[in-house]
Amino acid sequence: MFYLPKDTGVKQIVFNKKAYHEYHVLEKFEAGIELFGTEVKSIRQGNINLKEAFCIIKDGELFVRQMHISPYEKGNIFNKDPIRSKKLLMHKREINKLYARIKQDGLALIPLLVYFRNSRVKLEIGLVRGKKLHDKRESEAEKTTNRDIERRLKVSE
pLDDT at residue 28, as a whole number: 92
> pTM of the entire structure?
0.75
Those residues of the chain that have pLDDT short of 50 are 1-2, 4
- Give long-range contacts, CB 8 A cutoff, 24+ apart: 58-66: 60/92, 60/95, 60/96, 60/99, 61/87, 61/95, 62/31, 62/87, 62/88, 62/90, 62/95, 62/98, 62/109, 63/87, 63/88, 64/33, 64/88, 64/111, 64/123, 64/125
Secondary structure letter of residue 77 according to DSSP: G
pLDDT at residue 42, as a whole number: 87
pLDDT at residue 89, as a whole number: 92
pLDDT at residue 29, as a whole number: 92
pLDDT at residue 125, as a whole number: 93
- Sign (positive or negative) of CA dihedral 99, 102, 108, 111: negative
pLDDT at residue 39, as a whole number: 86
CATH architecture of 10-131: Beta Barrel (2.40)
- Picking from 140, 47, 125, the residue whose alpha carbon sits closest to that of residue 89 is 125
pLDDT at residue 1, as a whole number: 47
pLDDT at residue 4, as a whole number: 45
